[in-house]
């Protein structure tokens, strides 16, 4: 269950060792490209830019999950708005990706800004 070394718990599910979202999603070309770019950033530039993220999950983890769940268009905009909220005077704390965007149309970008806002 816990996946720690020396743990003897029995579990049916494999333990994910990745920091990114491992849930099910449709593997469309746009999603794979977007997630690939974010993963490339995580492996190359993320270590140089610094570990001073104000949110949980980090912006790159948020972007990876948002694109996996909601596609490149909506997930990309959610990610961009999240990075904008990380600046000075922005929010902090837990800010998870919304489960669904049923009330948001693809052209209503201002609603994506309010959907992703941290409420607390």
Which of 23-27, 81-85, 88-92, 102-106 is predicted least confidently?
102-106
- pTM of the entire predicted model: 0.74
Tokens of 42: 């995580």
Which candidate, 61, 5, 10, places its Cα nearest to that of 38?
61
55 CB neighbour count, 10 Å cutoff: 20
Which residues neighbour 71 within 8 Å (Cβ) at sequence distance 6 or greater?
A: 28, 30, 31
Q: What is the CA radius of gyration of the chain?
A: 16
Q: What SS3 state is found at 56? A: strand
Residue the block writes with tokens 């005077």: 89
Give me the percent of the chain exceeding a pLDDT of 70. Answer: 69
């Amino acid at each position: 269950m816990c996946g720690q070394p020396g743990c003897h718990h029995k579990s049916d599910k494999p333990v994910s060792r990745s920091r990114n979202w491992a849930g099910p999603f449709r593997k469309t070309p746009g999603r794979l490209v977007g997630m690939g770019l974010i993963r490339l950033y995580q492996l190359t530039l993320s270590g140089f830019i610094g570990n001073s993220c104000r949110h949980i999950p980090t912006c790159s983890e948020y972007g990876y999950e948002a694109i996996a769940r909601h596609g490149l268009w909506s997930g990309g905009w959610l990610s961009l708005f999240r990075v904008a909220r990380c600046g000075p005077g922005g929010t902090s704390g837990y800010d998870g990706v919304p489960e669904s965007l049923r009330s948001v149309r693809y052209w209503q970008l201002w609603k994506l800004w309010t959907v992703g806002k941290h409420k607390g």
